[in-house]
Amino acid sequence: MTRPTDVDLSARVGRLDLGLCVMNASGPLCTHDDELETLASSRAGAVVIKSATLEPRKGNVEPRIHLGGDGTLSINSVGLCNLGYRAHAAQAARLRQGAGKPIIASVAGFTPGEYVEMASVAGRASDAIEVNLSCPNVSGKVQVGLDPEASEAVLRGVRQATDRDIWVKLPPYQDASQVSTMAGVLRRCGVSAAVCINSPSGLDVDVENEVTVIHPNGGMGGLGGADCRRIARWNIRQFHLALEGALPVIGVGGVSTAEDVYGHILCGASAVQIGTALLASGPRIFDRIESELAGLMRRRGVVRISDKIGALRIRPEEETP
Ligand code: DHB
Whole-number percent of the chain with pLDDT over 70: 99
Query: Would you say the CB of residue 79 lies under 6 angstroms from ligand 1?
Result: yes
Work out the mean pLDDT of the chain and round it to a whole number.
Answer: 97
Q: Which of 30, 135, 196, 228 is catalytic?
A: 135
Name the residue with the closest Cα to ligand 1, atom 2. Answer: 135
Ligand 1 atom closest to residue 108's alpha carbon, by position in its atom list: 7
Number of alpha carbons in the 13 Å side-chain half-sphere of residue 24:
34
The secondary structure of 158-173 as a DSSP string is HHHH-SSEEEEEEPPP
pLDDT tier for residue 138 given thresholds of 50, 70 and 90: confident
Pocket test for ligand 1, best of 49, 57, 76, 139 (most atoms within 8 A of CB): 76
Determine whether 267 is an active site residue: no
Q: Is the pLDDT of residue 2 over 90?
A: no
Query: Would you say the CB of residue 199 lies under 6 angstroms from ligand 1?
Result: yes
Distance CA 207, CA 193 (A): 40
- Let me know if 308 is exposed, middle or buried by CB neighbors in 10 A (0-12, 13-18, 19+): middle
Query: Would you say the CB of residue 77 lies under 6 angstroms from ligand 1?
Result: yes
**pLDDT score of 141:** 83
How many angstroms separate the alpha carbon of residue 27 from the centre of ligand 1?
Answer: 6
Query: Would you say the CB of residue 135 lies under 6 angstroms from ligand 1?
Result: yes
* Over residues 307-311, mean pLDDT: 99
pLDDT per residue as tens digits for the range 227-267: 999 999 999 999 999 999 999 999 999 999 999 999 999 99
Longest distance between any two alpha carbons in the chain, whole Å? 66
* Over residues 64-84, mean pLDDT: 98
Paired residues of 103 in beta bridges = 47
Q: Is the pLDDT of residue 135 over 80?
A: yes
Predicted structure pTM score: 0.98
Q: Is the pLDDT of residue 321 over 90?
A: no
Is residue 252 within 8 A of residue 232, CB to CB? The reply is yes
**pLDDT score of 286:** 98
Ligand 1 atom closest to residue 169's alpha carbon, by position in its atom list: 6
Name the residue with the closest Cα to ligand 1, atom 5. Answer: 135
Q: Is the pLDDT of residue 140 over 90?
A: no
* Over residues 118-128, mean pLDDT: 98
**pLDDT score of 318:** 96
Pocket test for ligand 1, best of 64, 75, 78 (most atoms within 8 A of CB): 78
pLDDT per residue as tens digits for the range 181-232: 999 999 999 999 999 999 999 999 999 999 999 999 999 999 999 999 999 9
Query: Would you say the CB of residue 222 lies under 6 angstroms from ligand 1?
Result: yes
Distance CA 47, CA 115 (A): 20
pLDDT per residue as tens digits for the range 32-53: 999 999 999 999 999 999 999 9
Neighbours of 299 (CB within 10 A): 8
How many angstroms separate the alpha carbon of residue 185 from the centre of ligand 1?
Answer: 23
CA dihedral 136, 138, 140, 146 (to 10 degrees): -30
Q: Is the pLDDT of residue 99 over 90?
A: yes
Query: Would you say the CB of residue 108 lies under 6 angstroms from ligand 1?
Result: yes
pLDDT per residue as tens digits for the range 7-32: 999 999 999 999 999 999 999 999 99
**pLDDT score of 260:** 99
* Over residues 130-142, mean pLDDT: 87
pLDDT per residue as tens digits for the range 152-177: 999 999 999 999 999 999 999 999 99
How many angstroms separate the alpha carbon of residue 137 from the centre of ligand 1?
Answer: 6
3-state secondary structure (DSSP) of residue 91 = helix
Distance CA 247, CA 182 (A): 13
Pocket test for ligand 1, best of 29, 80, 138 (most atoms within 8 A of CB): 80
Ligand 1 atom closest to residue 79's alpha carbon, by position in its atom list: 10
Pocket test for ligand 1, best of 62, 133, 137 (most atoms within 8 A of CB): 137
Distance CA 5, CA 15 (A): 23
Query: Would you say the CB of residue 106 lies under 6 angstroms from ligand 1?
Result: no
**pLDDT score of 137:** 83
How many angstroms separate the alpha carbon of residue 173 from the centre of ligand 1?
Answer: 17
